[in-house]
Amino acid sequence: MQLRDLWDKWWPEKTERSGVPLTDQQRRFTGFLLILILAAALMLQVTSQRGASPVTSPLSSSDSLNGDAEPALGGRSASSSNYEEEIERKLAAILSRIEGVGSVEVMVTFSTGSRLELAQDVNGDETVTEETDTQGGKRRVVSQRWNEKVVILREGQRGDSPIILAEHRPVVAGVLVVADGAKDPGIRLLISRAVETAIDIPSHRVTVVPRKK
């Protein structure tokens, strides 16, 4: 059936505006059509409201989400380990391009682990109490209470995750470089200065030694 035929069947040219009332069948169909339209609009509204919405959760900022938490047995978090390997790889690659350096190995140590700065909802409460002892002395007592909650982002099927404001990289404690050409004092100085410039650390944190033959 063509669309025009369907239209003429349910809404003929003579309608209530021309003085001819709608039939019961037409009224039922019109009501059913209105219900479908309202249901579709409601579904669209619900779908648009199912997006990510931030909520607060009493998750402590010192939980395992914080990069400062180190695993047992002196290990490192995965992010710190990956960052360490990345720095070592890049330093070794750039140092090996310096004339006279030869084959090179790099080891980097860190004084801190990576740390995530999480968004928090902080609420404070201050209570002031004035006390009077039996001798007429007065004392003013101020008590404060703070409640901190990490803000959690709920993303439906993707799960919940904290809102991360900043990610602080591990702080480099020292760099050890083993190179074939480090026997030459000039090459050793070039290597040290290259490391200092590359990762912005002072010279006393860089050690360059020749490779064992």
Contact yes or no for 55/63 (Cβ under 8 A): no
Spatial CA neighbour of 208 closest among 85, 102, 76, 89: 102
Using pLDDT thresholds of 50, 70 and 90, give the confidence band for residue 136.
confident
- Would you place residue 95 in the very low, low, confident or very high pLDDT band (cuts 50, 70, 90)? very high
How high does pLDDT run on average in the chain? 73
pLDDT at residue 21 above 80?
Answer: no
What number is the average pLDDT over the span 80-85? 76
**What is the number of residues in the chain?**
213
Instruction: Kindly state the average pLDDT of the residues 136-143.
Output: 79
* Average pLDDT score over residue span 138-161: 77
Which one has a higher pLDDT value, 79 or 136? 136
Contact 160, 83 (CB under 8 A): no
User: Which tops the pLDDT comparison, 209 or 149?
Assistant: 209
Give this prediction's pTM: 0.46
Give dist(CA 48, CA 90) in Å, integer.
45
How confident is the model over 175-191, as pLDDT tens digits?
999 999 999 999 999 99
Give yes or no for residue 199 having a pLDDT over 60. yes
pLDDT higher than threshold 60 for residue 20: no
Query: What pLDDT sits at residue 147?
Result: 80
Confirm if 92 and 105 have CB atoms less than 8 A apart: yes
